Amino acid sequence: MRTFSKIISTVFHPMLIPTLGLFLIFNIGGHFSYLPLDHKRIIYLIVFLSTCALPLSLMPLFMLLGVIKSIYMKNRQERILPTVFTGIFYCLGYFFLSRIPVVPSFIQSFMLATIIAIAIALLITLFWKISMHMIGIGGLTGALLALSFRFGLDIWILFSLAIIIAGMVGTARLYLKAHTPAQVHTGFILGGLVVFAGSLIF
């Protein structure tokens, strides 16, 4: 069970969620599916670099400097500086996406809403440890719901699957004793509400 929990936590790591969300957006149907492949590749590259590759590249440096003890960042204080830099990279990603005319507005909204969720998570992390994993999967769930509301897409099966996966991720984080139930639930609600609302408003 411990190995399975670690696999779930890795596969649905918050650094991978934006790229996974982008994949779903491009393949969910509607006008997103008709975007030229070259345009999709550019968007994939920007999102993956800014939300995964660049934040991950700083982890060895943070460990070398003693900012974090491990990539798991079990201590609340360890998460503050990496979250700050993650937010900066997300902002850079959003900046480049917003400068490319072919990027659909929903993808820009999704990215901006995720930045807001990270900013709120950072403020919370200053005094309380919240589950970043659940913010990520909650944000993905919120984005799917926003897609359905905004474009009338029938994706309830996929939405239901996201809920099930969220339950698996939450259970994994609890089993690994990485978080308390309150931290897991709060993370999911925060990510879900902020990304859902942001993806509709912006």
Sequence-ordered list of residues with C-beta below 8 angstroms from that of 28, at least 6 positions apart, any chain: 147, 153, 155, 158
* Model pLDDT for residues 130-181, shown as the tens digit of each residue: 999 999 999 999 999 999 999 988 889 999 999 999 999 999 999 999 899 9
Domain range annotation of the chain: 2-201
Whole-number pLDDT of residue 8: 94
> Which residues, at least 6 apart from 69, have a Cβ–Cβ distance to it below 8 Å?
63, 75, 78
- What is the C-alpha to C-alpha distance for residues 134 and 92, in angstroms, rounded to an integer? 23
Q: Which residues contact 91 (CB under 8 A, 6 or more apart)?
A: 115
Q: Is the pTM of this model over 0.75?
A: yes
pLDDT digit string (tens) for 4-17? 899 999 999 999 99
User: For residue 88, what pLDDT band results from cuts at 50, 70 and 90?
Assistant: very high
